[in-house]
Every structure is written in C-alpha cells, then in structure tokens.
Amino acid sequence: MALLTGKRTIVTGASRGIGKAIVERFAAEGATVLAAARHKPAELPAGVSWRDCDVAKRSDIDALVAQAHQDFGGIDVLVNNAGMLVGKTLVDMTDEEWEQQQAVNVRSVFQACRAAIPIMIAGGGGAIVNLGSISGQTADYGMAAYNATKAAVHLLTKSIAIDHGPQGIRCNAVCPGWIKTDMLEDNFKLFPDPAAAEAAAARLHPVRRLGLPSDIAAMAAWLASDEATFVTGQLFTVDGGILSRSPAAPD
C-alpha cells in the first residue's frame, strides 16, 4: 500500500517548486489532493484537483478549506507551503512589504489551520505540515522580515501541536535549506558567473549539492503518513547539513 493512500489533503503554494513537488509526491503515494495557488500550472498529476487561491485573503482560504470538506467529505492532511520573500533590511522595507510577508507566510498558516482543524477533529484527527525554513533558525543578510515570519511559523507549529494534540491533531514543520527553486536560481543570476556561484554554494554543504524540491516533498509525505503518528511539535531541518557546518570548516 502506498504511504498516503486515502489521505484527503490540501496543499497551498502548489504551482511550482516545493509545492509542486509535494503535490506530485502525495499523489504518487495515493493521497487525494486539492492543490491551490494563485496561478494554475499547465499540468497536474492525475486525480489532483485545483482551486485558485490567494492565501493573503482569508476569504480564499476559507473557500479552499470548504471545498476540500465538501468534495472529499473531510480533511486528513493540510500542507501550508505558500510563502514569499522580499529581500530587504528593516530600514529599507516599507510597511506594505512587511505586512505582505506576514500575511502570506504567517497569517495564512494561522487561518488555514483555524479553518481545517475543526473538520479534522470531527473526522477523528489529522496531520498538519507547515513549511518553515532554516531562515527561521538563523538570520540572513537582508531578509529580516522573512526570518521573522519563518520563526513565527516554527512556534505556531509547536503551539498547535500542544493545544490540539489531545484532539488527534499532529503538527510539524519542515525547515528547508538551500533548495533549487526558481527563487534560488534568480539569486544566483545576480552574480557575474551564476554557475560558479551555484557551485560555490553546493560546496558549503557536507553532501556537496543543493537540495531538490523532491527532498522536501519526501519529508512532508512521511510526516503526513501513519508512520509518523508519534511525531508532533517538531521542526525537521532538511538542509544537506549546512547548519551543522562550522564557519571555520574547510570547503
């Protein structure tokens, strides 16, 4: 039997990168998936349904959860993957840019969980997988707001696990490191030699490569599965060992 057979699942931020990989892995593992983002991808895995959703809008989140409840008859898994980054220091950042990151990265997680948890409880329980980041554990230059939002997701994850564990809800977060997504590729393009910049970044990792969206999807799938029923309130760092590396360590 596949790892997620019959699991009725919502995935936000599902159009590309990590979210797309999560949808593909969950579908391959037998889950019934309602995927959501602002822009529908050209192709979806067989059996995956879609809803346009701007997670910065509470009405969109409520409608997404309501559709999953109506179409599936319940919700077993919620994956809060949607996120955004504005790379600026606090001094350079506008109020609007700060609020936008809070809305997408934090408030959407709160609102999606608030809407889905009662449905999960009524169905006997469920699993929530939030996407945190190593950027919520250590600070990055020019990413103050993003760092703050991911740290908030980490503690919200633990709080949900404590508050609703007795009602059958498990909540964990995956904390990706440097993953080869469009966002990271755009960062490398800022260097005179993008290929050299990417190679240098890979050398910083003990595994000598950057992460792939599928690496994160694999962890998310396990956390959502019945193999992880004693796992809750945890932050799972998936970073190729880069946070374990001393700054003084040789390349």
Closest CA to 127 of 213, 11, 239, 1: 11
Tell me the chain's radius of gyration from C-alpha atoms.
18
141 is catalytic: no
**Beta bridge partners of residue 37, listed in sequence order:** 52
Residues 81/11, Cβ–Cβ less than 8 Å: yes
Residues 121/168, Cβ–Cβ less than 8 Å: yes
Distance of CA 82 to the CA centre of its chain: 6
**Beta bridge partners of residue 34, listed in sequence order:** 10, 49
Q: Compute the distance between CA of residue 109 and CA of residue 90 in angstroms, rounded to an integer.
A: 23
Active-site entry in 76, 81, 112, 146: 146
| Coil/strand/helix, residue 88 | coil
H or E element that contains 10: strand 8-12
H or E element that contains 220: helix 213-224
Q: Which residues are tagged catalytic? A: 146
